[in-house]
Chain A
Amino acid sequence: MTFEPLRWQEDPVRIAVFHDTEYLQAYFQVTAPRDIEWICKGRPVEELPRILTILSPSHHLASAKALDRLFGVEPPPMARNMREALLQAHIFRHHLRKLYFLISSRHNPFLDRQKRGNRGEPQLFPPHFLDEIMHHEALSQEAATILGGRCDHPLSAVTGGVSRFLKEDHYHRLSEIAEFCLKFAMRVGEFLRDEIFGDGKALDALGSTYGQNLQVEPMVSLTLAEKDGNVVLRDPVGKEMDRFSPDMMFEKIGFHNESWTHEPFAYIKGTSENATRKVQEQIGNIFHSEFPIPNPEFFFVGPLARLNSGEALGYPLAEEERQRLIEVLGPFPHFGVVAAYWALLVELVQAAEKMTGLYAQEKLTGPAIRTIPSEMGQVGHAVLESPQGLIFHHYRTDQKGIVEEVEVLGTGTGNNALRCLLTQKAVDISQARGEAWEETKNRIEISLLPF
Chain B
Amino acid sequence: MGTNPVLNKKLAIFTATGCRACENAILDIHYQVSSLSRYADIAFWPYVLGSEWRDLEKQERIDICFFSGAIRTGGDREAALKLREKSRIMVACGACAAFGGMPGLVNMSQSSGESGQSQGTMDNNQQASEEKKPELPPLEPRVLGLSQIVKVDYFVPGCPPTQNFLWAAIQSLVCNGQSPARLSFAASRLPETIGRSITSGILPPKGSIFAGEKAVCASCSRVKEEKRFETYKRPYQAYEESGRCLLEQGLVCQGITTREGCGGLCTAVGLPCRGCFGKAEAVFDPGAKMVSAIGSTFDSDDAQEIAAVVDDFVDLVGTFYRYTLPTQCALFSTPPKD
Contact = CB atoms under 8 A, between A and B. Distances in A.
Direct contact of A and B (CB under 8 A): yes
Interface of A: 2-10, 12, 14, 16, 18, 20, 25, 27, 29, 31-39, 41-44, 46-47, 50-51, 54-56, 67, 71, 97, 101, 108-112, 114-115, 131, 134-135, 137-138, 141, 149-150, 152-153, 155-156, 158-160, 163-165, 250, 254-262, 264, 280-281, 283-285, 288, 369, 372-373, 400-402, 405-407, 441-442, 445
7 contacts: A2-B134, A12-B15, A27-B133, A33-B115, A111-B37, A254-B123, A280-B125
Nearest first, the 4 closest Cβ-Cβ pairs linking A and B are A33-B115, A38-B116, A134-B31, A149-B269
Interface in B306-321: 314-315, 318-319
Interface stretch (B69-77, B149-157, B194-202): B69-77
B129 A284 contact: yes
Given A7-B49, A37-B116, A110-B37, A67 B123 contact: no
Nearest to A279: B123
Interface of B: 1-3, 14-21, 24-25, 27-28, 30-32, 36-38, 40-42, 46-53, 72-73, 75-76, 102-103, 105-106, 108-109, 112, 115-118, 120-125, 127, 129, 131-137, 139, 159-160, 234-238, 241-242, 265-266, 268-271, 274, 314-315, 318-319, 322
B265 A149 contact: yes
Contact of B122 (A27, A43, A255): A255
Nearest to A289: B131
Contacts of A6: 46, 50
A442 B38 CA distance: 28
Contacts of A43: 315, 318
A283 B125 contact: yes
Contact of B21 (A153, A283, A285): A153
Given A260-B133, A281-B125, 11 more contacts: A31-B75, A35-B72, A47-B318, A54-B21, A55-B19, A112-B3, A137-B28, A159-B236, A261-B136, A262-B115, A372-B238
B48 A32 contact: no
A442 B314 CA distance: 49
Contacts of A156: 269-271
A373 B236 CA distance: 7
Given A18-B132, A257-B124, A135 B315 contact: no
A50 B274 CA distance: 9
A35 B103 contact: yes
A203 B132 CA distance: 34
Contact of B28 (A141, A155, A262, A445): A141
A112 to B, nearest CB: 4
Tell me whether chain B's interface is mostly helix, strand or loop, or mixed. Answer: loop
Contacts of A25: 131
Contacts of B127: 281, 284-285, 288
A280 B126 CA distance: 10
A6 B318 CA distance: 33
Contacts of B46: 5-7
Given A54-B159, A372-B237, A27 B134 contact: yes
Nearest to A265: B125
A31 B137 contact: yes
Contacts of B122: 255-257, 264
A33 B16 CA distance: 11
A257 B125 contact: yes
A250 B235 CA distance: 30
Given A50-B274, A51-B102, A152-B25, A44 B75 contact: no
A241 B47 CA distance: 38
A7 B236 contact: no
B270 to A, nearest CB: 4
A32 B236 contact: no
A261 B137 CA distance: 10
A97 B20 CA distance: 13
Contacts of A401: 234, 314
A131 B3 contact: no
Contacts of B314: 44, 400-402
Given A6-B46, A7-B48, A43-B315, A32 B17 contact: yes
Contacts of A257: 117, 122, 124-125
A14 B79 CA distance: 14
A303 B139 CA distance: 34
B44 to A, nearest CB: 10
Contacts of A134: 27-28, 31-32
A373 B31 CA distance: 43
A402 B30 CA distance: 42
A18 B50 contact: no
A318 B137 CA distance: 44
Instruction: Specify which of A42, A43, A110, A262 lies most central, judged by the most chain B CB atoms within 10 Å of its CB.
Output: A110
A164 B241 contact: yes
A138 B32 CA distance: 7
A448 B16 CA distance: 20
Contacts of A16: 134
Nearest to B312: A400
Contacts of A150: 265, 269
A5 B50 CA distance: 8
B129 A158 contact: no
B139 A44 contact: no
Nearest to B162: A150
A369 B21 CA distance: 28
Nearest to A258: B125
A264 B27 CA distance: 30
B24 A152 contact: yes
Nearest to A253: B121
Contact of A155 (B106, B118, B137, B271): B271
Contacts of A101: 48
B116 A35 contact: yes
A5 B52 contact: yes
A6 B121 CA distance: 30
B139 to A, nearest CB: 7
Nearest to B130: A288
A104 B160 CA distance: 25
Contact of A54 (B19, B135, B139, B237): B19
